[in-house]
Amino acid sequence: MYHGSCLCGAITYEVRSEPLRASHCHCTMCQKQHGAAFATYANVARDDLVYLTGLDKLKTYNSSGTVLRRFCSDCGSSLEWSDPHRAPDRVAIAMGTFDTPYRPEHITDLHLDTRACWLPSLLDEME
């Protein structure tokens, strides 16, 4: 069981199963939405993501096609990415909102073709 919340704390949730996989998404839409080099998501079964508080603050943005991105309308925290048309039983949760430590064994990098040009230098400096 994992707990999570948005920046202002209005929205809280729990995840009632182990995430199926995790990914860093480097697509330009995730960059824009998160204001960051990439977004990191944990993919879980839709039924296992349960909101405890703040559901009325959760706003939905249809970013492309049938993709829905949900965020807190007060503080702007990104919470969900989903594609109910293509994968109705799955939801990706923005891992930065987890309050319970979760360390996936492996994180897949997606859309590296649009990787932020300033990201490689950050990684280089860590070596």
Report the interface residues with Zn ion, using CB under 5 A: 6, 8, 10, 25, 27, 30, 72, 74-75
Alpha-carbon distances of 44 from 27, 48, 112, rounded to whole Å: 20, 7, 23
Nearer to Zn ion, 47 or 112 (CB): 112
Q: Write down the least CB distance from residue 53 to Zn ion, Å.
A: 10
| In contact, 37 and 31? CB cutoff 8 Å | yes
Nearer to Zn ion, 1 or 8 (CB): 8
Q: Write down the least CB distance from residue 54 to Zn ion, Å.
A: 7
Nearer to Zn ion, 6 or 15 (CB): 6
